[in-house]
Amino acid sequence: MTSVDDRPPVLPRAWWLGLPLMAAGWLALAVQWLPTTTPLRPVLVFGFTLLGPGAAVVMLLPLVDRLERLMLSLAASVALGIVVSEALALAHMASSKTSIAILAGITTILVIARLIRSRSRSHRWEAPMERAR
Amino acid sequence: MAATLAPSVPISAAPRNSALAETICPEPSVSVVVCAYTESRWAELRQAMASLAHQRRPPLEVILVVDHCRPLERRARRCFHEAVVVPNQHERGLSGARNTGVERSTGAVVAFLDDDAVASAGWLEHLADAYQDPDVQGAGGLVHARWIDGRPSWFPREFDWVVGCSYRGLPDGPAPIRNPIGANMSFRREVFDAIGGFRSGLGRVGAVPLGCEETELCLRVADHFDGARIMHEPAAVVWHQVPPERATWRYFLSRCVAEGRSKAAVADLAGSAPALESERRYLRKSLPAGVLRALADGIVSPGRLRAAPMILAGVVATVFGYATGPNPSSLAEGLAGSPDKPISEPREAGGHAGVALRTAALGLVVALWAVSLPHVALEHMNDWGLLSVLPITFWLALAVLTVSFCTALGAARTPRWLLAAHVLTFIAILHATPAILYGTLRYAWAWKHVGVVDYVLRHHSSYVGGGFTAYQGWPGFFTLNGVLTGGSGFGSALTYASWAPVVFNLLDLVPLLMILRTFTADRRHTWMAVWIYYLLNWVGQDYFSPQAGAYFLYLTLIALCFRFLLDPRTEGRVVTNRGGRITALPRRHVPTRRVAHAVALVLVLAIVSSHQLTPYMLIASLAALFVTRARRTGLLTVAATVLAVAWAGLFGRAFLSENPWVLSSIGSFFSNASTGLNSLSPRPSQPQMLLAWVDRLLVAAAWSLALVGLWRRRRSWRRDLPLALLAITPVVLLVGNDYGGEMLLRVNLFSLVPIAFFAARALLPPRQGSRPSWAMPVMTLLVAVMLVGFTFAYYGKERANRFTHREVAAAKWLSDRPAGTLVSGLVPNLPWAFHNYERFQYDWMTEETPNQQRRLLAHPARYLASHFSQSGYRDAYLVFTKSQAADIEMTGLLPAHAPQRIERSVLRSPQFDVAFQNRDAVILRYVGPG
């Protein structure tokens, strides 16, 4: 058994993950105008804020391990949430609507970047490795 | 030669059930695994399969693993009816294919034959003979070279390993060896069950194949089976084809260099002394003899003279490869994902009864837990906290869970989901129990943190005055929770803050697993370390707090550094593939690197801006990794330092100027350390004194176990260095600050992951095969003792940490008082400050000077009245709650019965009116002398 190419991991399919991610962000923003007792609000806001932006970041990285992807999705979402909300708070403009809108915007930009990248072949880095016995 | 035989000849008439086979023949049943990857070697493959069909001792089964080649797989299925044709279930490559074969095989011994090798008729017979000795865990035979174009005269026989064949210098008769040759080898199944299969990633460095997977596996065998032997059985012969392109001096020299590099890696993995002993012997004896023989042969046949310089050239090339090859540490790092076990896990089949039993045990645990919850009489809680009221069913649930988990670890084939289910149940029981039982938010500081979120929501800012600068200077946690609370429509973080310990412990599990998996691929080790981590995480920093949030981000960032910031030589390639442990970022791909750097910076910024202490723990860890060259964290260290200092300078100035102790305690290591020890218990009650000692014992036991574990892993010290550094760096921070007397607790928190990792190694008994019968019960017992220690440390202070609904009602009444009100009480241990935080001034009697406290205790009502009259506040309230009294009783912050005396005195005083009262709380308003 000689010369087996060890191809780099294929990036995840951008569309089926990217579009729901973008949608979740804007939906989380949209439900802000629903009554506070709507059960959908906490589900969407917690779900999107704690996972969405990070998941969009992860789409841009060649991570193959599912746990690794989950870890970075959570951590990057939390970190982006902190940075965005903090910037608004320091500017005396803290508001959940604005924060969610910015996070949804970031998510959308990242997903679009991923979609553009998947259209070109440039994202395929070179990692030719031959192995033989 | 069997080349002309049809490949569809029946391969085996032996029974397919290995257990049955064992009873029929005294020798072990042998499964043969053949791995193929290309149709271009179809003719050779047919010969290999045909040779297996004509073994004097038929194999139990032949498994042909096709390595990601669909046409070959279809063709093989059509032609080799008697073989089990399976696709490689793992990553591309020989290791993955071999592991797939092992997983599909059922024989007691698994033999491997190359697809371009042909076995002699007695091959399996002789291999199987070797296993009559129970100490033999593996056996290999002789591999003769079949030169397609004839053997070049210059090719020294001493160097036949270059073409994957037996070389001159191997023992002539059966003898123990370090490792067999991959083309002709076999291992007992229990080897794979215990230590897993072949490790991927080892066989390559750059574009150069190394191929020391079998060596690495054999080193692991020697490590884990006491007295284990790998036998060389020269009677078990195979012929290995050598194509003309390998009979060139260019191939010869490149393979020598590659072999040198692989030896460097092996030496690093196993320590150079044992790993390279056979090489030294070979260099000392076989090669000089080879040179002399070549010179002697040259007299008869001058062409053979050329073998002598080729031997020397081969030695030089190999030494060159060894010396200039991959930095052993970088290679080891690349491999660190699977130092103990391969990428592929032992299969899950075969343990159905065990899985069913443990699943049932988990069901029983959940049932016992559910049954116990309604029977907890919280009102009877005494100084032992929750320990005093938890029913026997609760303890039974924990006992069953511990035993089930430990036995699951002991079993060879416990699936990962089952171990994960145990851990999740464990987290749920330990951390959800208080949340479910109390129905109110636990721990006074959590209420205050809810108040800061409330502040952000009301003011749309983290700072418009208010005097709680520690939070306002580092507001990240609160502003994010502001988004969650406001966005979800909850109105207050109180809705969900009770569940923070469960959520944070679950969150931490993800980076924790990633860190552990970077240093061991041994599933037992990983999950035992996880278990111990949760057993040792009694410090209680998992409540609704910036520390808990920042700690999760810290763990994630450390995990990312461990996994991505490898040595430049390892970087730029995917070190292991799907199912692998480490994914290095591609160096050349600039956009990817930019994204990665941006993510790391955002994480650092989030940590720096949301907690005062964690950034410095992070900087210390990153710097340690950088200085010791364990990871390339230099840039990140600089970035974190600049950001942390800049943030403290820009936004934390108010806090630092109000709290000069932060800067003044810098540099006082011993004072900082002892502050932590003393402040745990000034004048504690008897149970609390004991609990404090349990805390310390738990810490001491954990560190001792970790040292034992470190010693047991001493051979992989280079690989473990980053993790060991992580245990030490938090201790160094004691020089920096006492963190309000809490530094020791925080040090304990930040060194928890490495401590758990090494302690797990100490606790885990040897693997199956050489494990004494008492090992597993002893491990279970130790884990159970640690669990008891955890429950003491974590649940022992609950009398003060739990607030009743009545206390909450009183606190809510108080929070609606007008702005500018003075709120005073014994100690800030009550549900306070969760709403309208900044409207009130808080004043706690335990924070008075000793002199003031003496005057207070002598004449409580008079002292407080004069205190309030001088304060100048429009309204002043005194709060007495059950949990405040409990806290004082437990910690001894005031003398025994002081709370009751003060309360009685104030109640009798005409200067105070009862404004609110229920069974657990009294609020008095200062009305003045008139």
Q: What are the φ and ψ backbone dihedral angles of B187, each rounded to 5 degrees?
A: -145, 155
Signed CA dihedral, A121, B204, B575, B99: sign only: positive
Inter-residue long-range contacts of B622-627, CB under 8 Å, 24+ positions, other chains counted: B622/B561, B623/B729, B624/B725, B624/B726, B624/B728, B624/B729, B625/B561, B625/B565, B625/B722, B625/B725
Q: How, if at all, do strands B84-87 and B61-66 pair?
A: parallel
- Residue B74 and residue B68: Cα distance in Å, rounded? 11
* Least Cα separation, residue A3 to chain B (angstroms): 9
Report pLDDT for B269: 59
| CB proximity list for B830: less than 8 A, separation 6 or greater | B444, B447, B803, B807, B811, B879, B881, B883, B884, B921
- Residue B548 and residue B570: Cα distance in Å, rounded? 33
Report pLDDT for B15: 35
> Residues A121-133: what's their mean pLDDT?
34
Between positions 494 and 533 of B, the ones with CB within 8 A of A are 507, 510-511, 513-514, 517
A133 and A1 Cβ atoms separated by less than 8 Å: yes
- Residue A48 and residue B913: Cα distance in Å, rounded? 50
Do residue A41 and residue B595 have CB atoms under 8 angstroms apart?
A: no
Interface-testing mutation among B262, B462, B488, with chain A (most A C-beta atoms within 10 A): B488
B118 and B246 Cβ atoms separated by less than 8 Å: no
- Residue B20 and residue B788: Cα distance in Å, rounded? 46
Do residue A49 and residue B487 have CB atoms under 8 angstroms apart?
A: yes
Do residue A6 and residue B94 have CB atoms under 8 angstroms apart?
A: no
- Write out residues in chain B with pLDDT < 70, as ranges: 1-27, 200-212, 226-227, 265-278, 298-304, 324-352, 412-413, 464-469, 521, 566-592, 659-683, 735-742, 766-772, 930
Report pLDDT for B25: 36
- Residue B594 and residue B402: Cα distance in Å, rounded? 45
Which pair of structure tokens corresponds to residue B586?
A: 């591609």
Do residue B479 and residue A86 have CB atoms under 8 angstroms apart?
A: yes
* Least Cα separation, residue B212 to chain A (angstroms): 9
- Residue A45 and residue A32: Cα distance in Å, rounded? 9
Helix (H, G, I), strand (E, B) or coil at B466: coil
Report pLDDT for A110: 93
Report pLDDT for B527: 92
The verdict on B351 touching A (C-beta cutoff 8 Å) is no
The verdict on A37 touching B (C-beta cutoff 8 Å) is yes
Could you tell me what percent of chain A has a pLDDT over 90?
Answer: 53
Place of tokens 């460097």: B264
Contacts with A125 from chain B: Cβ below 8 Å: 586, 588-589, 592
User: Which of B501, B484, B502 minimizes the C-alpha distance to B493?
Assistant: B484
Report pLDDT for B111: 94
B186 and B140 Cβ atoms separated by less than 8 Å: yes
Nearest Cβ partner for B586 among A2, A65, A127: A127
Report pLDDT for B2: 33
pTM above 0.80, yes or no: no
| CB proximity list for B104: less than 8 A, separation 6 or greater | B63, B65, B84, B86
Nearest Cβ partner for B553 among A5, A63, A75: A75
Give B133-148 pLDDT, tens digit per residue. Answer: 777 889 999 998 888 8
User: Which of B176, B139, B194 minimizes the C-alpha distance to B413?
Assistant: B194
B614 and B551 Cβ atoms separated by less than 8 Å: yes
Between positions 356 and 375 of B, the ones with CB within 8 A of A are none
Could you tell me what percent of chain B has a pLDDT over 70?
Answer: 82
B323-340: buried (b, 16+ CB within 10 Å) or exposed (e) per residue? eebbbbbbbbbbbbbbbb
Which pair of structure tokens corresponds to residue B106?
A: 């059922």
Residue B776's CB: how many other CB atoms inside 10 A? 18
- Residue B285 and residue A9: Cα distance in Å, rounded? 46
Report pLDDT for B370: 94
The verdict on B182 touching A (C-beta cutoff 8 Å) is yes
Q: Which H helix or E strand runs over B840?
A: strand B840-844
SS3 of B125-189: the string is HHHHHHCCCCCEEEEEEEEEEEECCCCCCCCCHHHHHHHCCCCECECCCCEEECCCCCCEEEEEH
Q: What are the φ and ψ backbone dihedral angles of B875, each rounded to 5 degrees?
A: -125, 140
Contacts with B461 from chain A: Cβ below 8 Å: 89-90, 92-94
- Please report the DSSP string for B519-545 in residue order: H---HHHHHHHHHHHHHH--S-TTSSS
Which pair of structure tokens corresponds to residue A27?
A: 């939906």
Report pLDDT for B572: 35
The verdict on A69 touching B (C-beta cutoff 8 Å) is no
User: Which of A117, A129, A103, A100 minimizes the C-alpha distance to A15?
Assistant: A117
* Least Cα separation, residue A72 to chain B (angstroms): 7
Q: How confident is the model at residue A120 (pLDDT cuts 50, 70, 90)?
A: low
Report pLDDT for A129: 29
Signed CA dihedral, B890, B891, B894, B899: sign only: negative
C-alpha B690: how far from its chain's center?
31
SS3 of B637-656: the string is HHHHHHHHHHHHHHHCHHHH
The verdict on B104 touching A (C-beta cutoff 8 Å) is no
Could you tell me what percent of chain A has a pLDDT over 70?
Answer: 77
Distance set, CA B271 to CA B264, B335, B336, B718 (Å):
10, 15, 15, 10
Contacts with A92 from chain B: Cβ below 8 Å: 459-461, 464
Which pair of structure tokens corresponds to residue B569?
A: 């030589």
Between positions 466 and 495 of B, the ones with CB within 8 A of A are 475-477, 479-480, 482-491
A125 and B589 Cβ atoms separated by less than 8 Å: yes
| CB proximity list for B462: less than 8 A, separation 6 or greater | A86, A89, A90, A94, B455, B456, B471, B472, B475, B478, B479
The verdict on A40 touching B (C-beta cutoff 8 Å) is no
Chain mean pLDDT for chain A = 80
Helix (H, G, I), strand (E, B) or coil at B325: coil
Report pLDDT for B342: 33
* Least Cα separation, residue B419 to chain A (angstroms): 15
Do residue B549 and residue A36 have CB atoms under 8 angstroms apart?
A: no
Report pLDDT for B493: 93
First to last CA, chain B: 118
User: Which of A50, A102, A94, A106 minimizes the C-alpha distance to A73?
Assistant: A50
The verdict on B201 touching A (C-beta cutoff 8 Å) is no
The verdict on B590 touching A (C-beta cutoff 8 Å) is no
Report pLDDT for B672: 52
- Please report the DSSP string for A18-72 in residue order: HHHHHHHHHHHHHGGGS-TT-THHHHHHHHHHHHHHHHHHHHTS----HHHHHHH
Report pLDDT for B729: 87
Helix (H, G, I), strand (E, B) or coil at A124: coil
Report pLDDT for B888: 87
Between positions 80 and 109 of A, the ones with CB within 8 A of B are 80-83, 85-86, 88-90, 92-97, 99-100
Report pLDDT for B483: 95
Give A75-118 pLDDT, tens digit per residue. Answer: 999 999 999 999 999 999 999 999 999 999 999 999 998 888 77
Angle between helices B523-536 and B416-427 (to 10 degrees): 0
Contacts with A90 from chain B: Cβ below 8 Å: 461-463, 651
C-alpha B612: how far from its chain's center?
26
B167 and B160 Cβ atoms separated by less than 8 Å: yes
Give B478-516 pLDDT, tens digit per residue. Answer: 999 999 999 999 989 999 999 999 999 999 999 999 898
The verdict on B651 touching A (C-beta cutoff 8 Å) is yes
- Please report the DSSP string for B195-230 in residue order: H-SPPTTTTEETTEE---HHHHHHHHHHHHSTT-EE
- Residue B742 and residue B739: Cα distance in Å, rounded? 5
